[in-house]
Amino acid sequence: MINTSSTLSLIAGIILILFSAFLNLSDILSALFIFAGGFIFLSRGSDFFVESAARISRTLGVSDFVIGLTIIAVGTSLPELLTGIASSLTENPGIIEGTVIGSNIVNITLILGLTSIFSLILIKKDIFYRDCYILIGISFIFYWFTFDGAITNIEGLILILFFIFYVGFLFRFKPHMSVFYNFEEYLDFVYRFDTLVDIATYRRILKKGLDFNTHKRLVKAGMDIGWKLGTIPIILAVKGLDKHTYVSLVDFYKERLKKGLLGDSIIFFVSCFLIYLGAKYFVEGAVRIADILNVDQAIVGLTVVSIGTSLPELVISIKSVRKGFSNMVLGNVIGSNIANITIVMGTSALLVPIRIMDVNRLYVIPFMIFITFLLLAFIRSGWHIRKIEGIVFLIFYLGFLAGMIGIAR
C-alpha cells in the first residue's frame, strides 16, 4: 500500500532528478542530486516490490515460509542486485565490486552495531550453526576467486549455483523455521502491511456470531494451507464452526483477496520500473562522484554506495528489535551477506567479468572475513550481541572508513 510518506519520498526523488537535469548546478551538486534521487527510487521501489510480491504470493496460495525465505530475503538485497546489474550493463564494474564487499562490512559493523544499541540481539543456535558457517565458507570461496584479480563469468555462474544450493538447503529446515519465523507477524510489523481483514469485514464477521478467537483461528488456518476451500484441515482447525458458515466466510475472504490482486499487480510493475530508474540514476550519480573526486569507482562503492544500499537492512533491523523480532536481525544480516556474494556478485560477473582492485584483495576482503569471524566470536560468547559488542563493531567500521579515506588520498 502506497502511503503518504511513500508518496512524498517519491516526489522528493523526482524533484532531485529534475533539479539536476534542468538547473544550472555545479557538477558535484548535480551528481549528488542524481545519486540521492536514484537512491530514493531504488529504496522505495524495493519496498513496494517486496510488499506487492508478498501480497500476490499470499493471494495465489504461497505459504508464509516460502514468502519469507525468497521474497523477503532477496528483497533486502534488491538494491545491491539492481545496482550490480546496472553497473555491469553500463560497464562500471568497479561500483559493484565495492558495493558488495562494502555492503557486507556495513551489514555486520554498522547495522548490527547500531541495532544492538537499541536492544539486545538474541541468537538462535540453529541459525548460527547453519547460516554463519555457510557465510564463512562462501566468503573464503569468493576470496579464492579474487586471487587472479577478477571474478570471471564462470566464477559468477558458480556463485549463483551456490545461492540456489543455499536456498534448497534452507528448505530442509522448513518445519523448524516455519515455527521460529512468524512471517505473518513479521510482514505485518516490519513492512506495515494492512491487516488481512479491515473494519467492514470484521463487522460482517461479528454479525455472523463469531468471537475474535474463532475468527483468528479461521484466518490462521486459511493462511496455513493457502486458502484451499473444503479441505479437512481447516474444518478441523475451526472447531464449532458449521461447514456452511465456514464455506461462506472463506469464500468471502478469497473474494476480497482477489479484488486486491489487480491493484497489487499494478504496484508490482510500477515498483519494477522505479527500481530500474533508481538503479540507473544511483549508479550514474556514483560514477559522476567518483570522476569528480578523482577516486576509483570501487572506493565510492565501498563507502557511499554500500551505505546507501544497506539502509533497507538497517531500517528493517531497527524495526525488528523494536517490535520484538530481535531473533530475526541476525538472519536478515547473514542472509543478505550470503545473497550479496552469491546472487549479486554472481549475476554481475555473469554479465561482465569484474576486475578486483589490489586494495580490495589485500585489505578490504580480508577485513570483511575478519569482521565475520569477530561476529562468530561475539555470538559464541553468550548467544547474543550486547551493546558493548555493538560499539566495538562501530569502532571497527569507523577505523575502516578512516583507512579507505587514507587510501583515496
pLDDT bin (cut points 50, 70, 90) of residue 308 is confident
Fold for domain 4-408?
A middle domain of Talin 1 (1.20.1420)
Q: Retrieve residue 156's grid coordinates.
A: 559468477
Residue 393 has pLDDT above 80, yes or no: yes
Distance between alpha carbon 140 and the CA centroid of its chain, in Å?
23
Exposed e or buried b per residue across 294-312, where buried means at least 16 C-beta atoms within 10 angstroms of its C-beta: ebbbbbbbbbbbbbbbbbb
Q: Retrieve residue 343's grid coordinates.
A: 546472487
Largest interatomic CA distance in the chain: 75
Tell me the sheet residues that pair with 150. Answer: 355
Residues 6+ apart with CB under 8 A from 109: 371, 393, 394, 396, 397, 400
pLDDT of residue 96: 80
φ, ψ of residue 121 in degrees (nearest 5)? -95, 115
Q: What is the mean pLDDT of residues 166-177?
A: 64
How many residues are recorded in the chain? Answer: 409
Higher per-residue confidence, 264 vs 154: 154
Residue 276 has pLDDT above 60, yes or no: yes
pLDDT of residue 232: 37
Q: What is the pLDDT of residues 225-247, one digit of tens each?
A: 343 333 333 443 444 555 566 56
Q: What is the pLDDT of residues 324-383, one digit of tens each?
A: 666 667 877 887 888 889 988 999 899 889 989 888 899 999 999 999 999 999 988 888
Top mean-pLDDT range of 13-22, 158-167, 289-298: 158-167
Which residue ranges make up each domain of the chain? 4-408
Treating both helix axes as pointing N-terminal to C-terminal, what angle do 306-322 and 326-339 enclose, rounded to 10 degrees? 160
Tell me the sheet residues that pair with 121. Answer: 385
Residues 6+ apart with CB under 8 A from 315: none
Q: What is the mean pLDDT of residues 312-318?
A: 71
Tell me the sheet residues that pair with 384. Answer: 122
Residues 6+ apart with CB under 8 A from 325: 185, 186, 189, 190
> How far apart are the C-alpha atoms of 169 and 26, rounded to whole Å?
51
> How far apart are the C-alpha atoms of 103 and 337, rounded to whole Å?
8
